């Protein structure tokens, strides 16, 4: 759906054919379409954030810490705890969601093309276009899983300035092993590029984080977010882990005081509650396995997922048709624009039951008609 633009508006011609990003935000009984964590902050965390924000409010006449040192230190400690690494704030950059991180990467390191292996996170190509960087859709296996040998061939042929991988990948859910990421990093290094590893769903995966490769691969940037496993999407906090010179480059393209004092302090408090917040991960992973088993029992096919969502196929109607039929029954899932596939975010037990119940109803109705 392309928008019509009036003649008097001097819109950049390369933007005129784009559509704004966005999953439909429509009322539903179960919102299972944007890979959020279904569990809200505990009453204790709500109180702790409210108290902290009340305190910060007394200084809102002043600009926030431009360099967000306290938050970046907390994030470094969190990553070190997960990956047994030893980063300090000099290896971390934080912004309003990892989407702003992605934008800053494009702003700082363009001057060549960018390659990603699609289907993957749709904001990588969209931000590439908005920042006037030529984007190339790389190939994956026919079953949509990642193919390391094919990826290395494409990197060597195209020689992109920026190579993006997402692991676990959105929307397919498959994860890339640390050994394969290292092989890709070597190929990217040999052509003088940067490898960007989007780990938005890393906490749900058993694989080692690519942050463990940064010491020996300074051209590797790892993107993380508090929006998914960390259950903090509404606060908008994303970050990257990289060589300190990458962080220095981020300070050239960030807007001054880009991260509000409210956001910074709320995120520091949430990181103090990390044990409690990440406790939901085990529940979501076991719910994911339960949903996958049920989908298989309905005769549907899934791609093995290491994330908090599942891409499924094999239903006897088009993806937009099933998407609408589910919404008519109150369940909002995601049509990611892949013919024959739909993506469902794992919710709480009640939401997953509702999803499975309504899906089975529709499957029975269509097989009878």
Give contact residues for ligand PLP (rule: CB under 6 A).
35, 97-99, 121, 166, 170, 198, 200, 225, 227-228, 233, 238
Strands 135-138 and 341-345, by their bridges, are unpaired
CB of 122 to ligand PLP, least distance (A): 9
> Who contacts 36 (Cβ-Cβ below 8 Å, separation ≥6)?
227, 228, 231, 233, 345
CB of 361 to ligand PLP, least distance (A): 29
**Of 124, 61, 59, 66, residue with least CA distance to 94:** 66
Whichever of 170 and 363 has its CB closer to ligand PLP, that residue is: 170
Q: What is the largest CA-CA distance in the chain?
A: 65
CB of 236 to ligand PLP, least distance (A): 7
Whichever of 109 and 230 has its CB closer to ligand PLP, that residue is: 230
Q: Which two tokens stand for residue 131?
A: 């920042």
Whichever of 64 and 168 has its CB closer to ligand PLP, that residue is: 168
Q: Residue with the closest Cβ to ligand PLP?
A: 97
Rounded to whole angstroms, how far apart are CA atoms 115 and 106?
12
Whether residue 168 is preceded by a cis peptide bond, meaning omega within 30 degrees of 0, is yes
Whichever of 250 and 362 has its CB closer to ligand PLP, that residue is: 250
Whichever of 200 and 214 has its CB closer to ligand PLP, that residue is: 200
**Of 313, 362, 359, residue with least CA distance to 339:** 313
- The single-letter DSSP state of residue 334 is B
Helix (H) / strand (E) element for 79: namely: helix 69-83
Whichever of 37 and 91 has its CB closer to ligand PLP, that residue is: 37
> Who contacts 109 (Cβ-Cβ below 8 Å, separation ≥6)?
161, 162, 194, 249
CB of 346 to ligand PLP, least distance (A): 14
Whichever of 148 and 233 has its CB closer to ligand PLP, that residue is: 233
CB of 121 to ligand PLP, least distance (A): 4
Rounded to whole angstroms, how far apart are CA atoms 93 and 271?
15
Rounded to whole angstroms, how far apart are CA atoms 31 and 50?
26
Whichever of 204 and 273 has its CB closer to ligand PLP, that residue is: 204
Whichever of 133 and 223 has its CB closer to ligand PLP, that residue is: 223
Rounded to whole angstroms, how far apart are CA atoms 31 and 36?
9
Rounded to whole angstroms, how far apart are CA atoms 207 and 187?
21
Helix (H) / strand (E) element for 103: namely: helix 97-108
CB of 220 to ligand PLP, least distance (A): 16
CB of 311 to ligand PLP, least distance (A): 13
The backbone torsions φ and ψ at residue 190, rounded to the nearest 5 degrees and listed phi first, read: -65, -20
CB of 344 to ligand PLP, least distance (A): 14
CB of 62 to ligand PLP, least distance (A): 26
Which residues are 240's β-sheet partners? 93, 223
Contact predicate 249/96, CB 8 Å: no
Give first-to-last CA distance, the chain, whole Å.
Answer: 32
Whichever of 278 and 294 has its CB closer to ligand PLP, that residue is: 278
CB of 164 to ligand PLP, least distance (A): 9
The structure tokens 């944007």 sit at: 34
């Amino acid at each position: 759906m392309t928008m019509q633009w009036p003649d008097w508006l001097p819109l950049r011609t390369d933007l005129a054919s784009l559509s704004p990003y966005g999953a439909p935000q429509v009322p539903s009984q179960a919102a299972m379409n944007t890979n959020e964590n279904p569990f809200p902050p505990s009453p204790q965390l709500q109180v702790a954030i409210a108290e902290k924000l009340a305190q910060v409010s007394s200084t809102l006449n002043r600009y926030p810490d431009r360099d967000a040192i306290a938050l970046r230190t907390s994030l470094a400690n969190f990553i070190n705890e997960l990956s047994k690494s030893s980063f300090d704030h000099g290896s971390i950059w934080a912004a309003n969601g990892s989407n702003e991180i992605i934008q800053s990467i494009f702003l700082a390191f363009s001057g060549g093309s960018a390659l990603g292996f699609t289907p993957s996170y749709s904001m990588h190509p969209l931000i590439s276009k908005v920042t006037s960087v030529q984007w190339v859709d790389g190939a994956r296996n026919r079953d949509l899983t990642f193919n390391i040998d094919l990826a290395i061939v494409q990197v060597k042929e195209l020689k992109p300035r920026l190579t993006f991988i997402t692991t676990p990948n959105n929307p397919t859910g498959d994860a890339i092993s640390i050994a394969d990421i290292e092989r890709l990093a070597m190929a990217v290094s040999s052509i003088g590029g940067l490898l960007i590893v989007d780990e938005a769903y890393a906490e749900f995966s058993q694989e080692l984080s690519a942050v463990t490769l940064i010491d020996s691969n300074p051209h590797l940037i790892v993107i993380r977010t508090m929006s998914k496993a960390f259950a903090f999407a509404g606060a908008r906090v994303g970050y990257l882990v990289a060589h300190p010179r990458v962080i220095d480059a981020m300070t050239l393209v960030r807007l001054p005081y880009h991260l509000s004092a409210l956001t910074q302090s709320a995120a520091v408090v949430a990181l103090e509650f990390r044990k409690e917040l990440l406790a939901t991960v085990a529940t979501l992973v076991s719910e994911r396995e339960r949903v996958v088993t049920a989908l298989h029992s309905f005769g549907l096919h899934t791609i093995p997922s290491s994330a908090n969502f599942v891409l499924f196929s094999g239903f006897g109607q088009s993806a937009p048709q099933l998407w609408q039929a589910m919404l008519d029954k109150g369940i909002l899932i995601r049509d990611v624009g892949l013919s024959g596939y739909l993506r469902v975010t794992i919710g709480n037990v009640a939401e997953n039951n509702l999803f499975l119940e309504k899906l089975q109803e529709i499957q029975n109705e269509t097989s009878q008609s």
